[in-house]
Amino acid sequence: MEHMKIRTRGGRAVRRAPRLAAVAVGALVSFSVVAAPANAVPLFPGGPDIPLPALPALPPPPELPQLLPPFVPPEPEIGPANFATPSINPSAGETVGVAQPVVVRFDAPVADRAVAGRAIRVTAEPAVDGEFYWISDSQVRWKPFEFWPAHTSVTVRAGDATSTFRIGESVIAYADDDTKQITVSVGGEVVKTMPTSMGKPGHETPNGTYIIGEKHRDMYMDSSTYGVPVDSPEGYRTYVEYATRMSYSGIFVHGAPWSVAQQGVTNVSHGCLNVSNEDAKWFYDTFRKGDAVIVSNTDGGTLPGWDGLGDWNR
């Protein structure tokens, strides 16, 4: 039962609290009903509807400042040369293969190699890491740690001499004595396979990576050029076509029509890679200075790094 306070006024009892409470509750209910909009949501289950205030529109995001390119420290100044104007190979404007080293030749022996090295710079686009190595006091070379990327642009500065050249498409021949086949890859894709006959017992073709040198449309192969008289049992002077040099020691890829029956079967040459005249012409037309030939699985040891075209075997 609801309790209330009772007072008397003039002998008459007066009930006030319940009426005041009823009025207050009625006023609250009346206010809630009037204030609630149609889209309001309850504050809690069963509770009164509370209108959601409209959110103000967000301002557009500020423009970000343009990022600066990464800082590239300037290259140190090239040192003073302690040599006269040298020759640089490859020469300006040449296009060479992915195995080609840079060769700097001096007119006179260099007394201080360290000073000379600071006066020589090799730069490439894209950048390529590599190393210098001295062949003699009159010649220093530079090559990348791995084959050049195809289509690289290279600039060499040596004292007051400069050469800018370009690396061509990757062209690599793989000569395998197990299969007696030469497999040619251009741009990473195999484009041709040809049978070959390599060095016979006692004249085994060395293993290793060879760098293509000069090419001859035709020439005489002469054993006396490496110390074997032409009139000796192992001597010869033979006319060949489409000869492509791959070592200073006299190894070529060349046409050998006399050994076509042995090509792909057995080794009968004095170290060269014998192929048919047709295949020799294709090789001659396809390969350029600086392309690579990789020989494997022979009993001929390894082509020495000092051969001149054996730099990758150092």
Query: Is pLDDT at 13 greater than 60 in this prediction?
Result: no
The pLDDT, as a whole number, for residue 69 is 74
Give CA angle at 284 (306, 172), nearest 5°.
Answer: 60
pLDDT in tens, 130-148: 999 999 999 999 999 999 9
pLDDT per position as a tens digit, 148-191? 999 999 999 999 999 999 999 999 999 999 999 999 999 999 99
Q: Classify domain 87-167 by CATH number.
A: 2.60.40.3710
- CATH class (in words) of the domain with range 171-313: mainly beta
Q: pTM for the complete prediction?
A: 0.76
* pLDDT score of 42: 55
Six token digits for residue 272: 């060269």
- Tell me the domain boundaries of the chain: 87-167, 171-313
* Residue 185, C-beta contacts closer than 8 angstroms, at least 6 positions apart: 170, 171, 172, 173, 174, 191
The answer to whether domain 87-167 and domain 171-313 are alike in fold is: no
Q: Is the bond leading into 90 cis (omega within 30 degrees of zero)? A: yes
254 catalytically annotated: yes
d(CA 252, CA 33): 105
Residues 14, 15, 21, 27, CA torsion sign: negative
pLDDT band at 3 (very low <50, low <70, confident <90, very high): very low
For the segment 35-66, what is each residue's pLDDT rounded down to a tens digit?
Answer: 444 455 555 555 566 666 677 787 887 777 76
Residue 77: the pLDDT is: 72
Mean residue pLDDT of the chain comes to: 86
Neighbours of 18 (CB within 10 A): 12
Least confident stretch, 28-32, 35-39, 258-262, 304-308: 28-32
Q: Which residues contact 291 (CB under 8 A, 6 or more apart)?
A: 97, 98, 99, 171, 172, 173, 211, 212
- From the list 203, 216, 270, 272, the catalytic residue is 272
Residue 158's contacts (CB-CB under 8 Å, 6 or more residues apart) are 81, 86, 88, 104, 119, 120, 121
Beta-carbon count within 10 A of 287 CB: 22
Confidence of residue 227 (pLDDT cuts 50, 70, 90): confident
Helix (H) / strand (E) containing 157: strand 153-158
Of 199, 195, 147, nearest to 172 by C-alpha is: 147
Average pLDDT of the segment spanning 99-116:
97
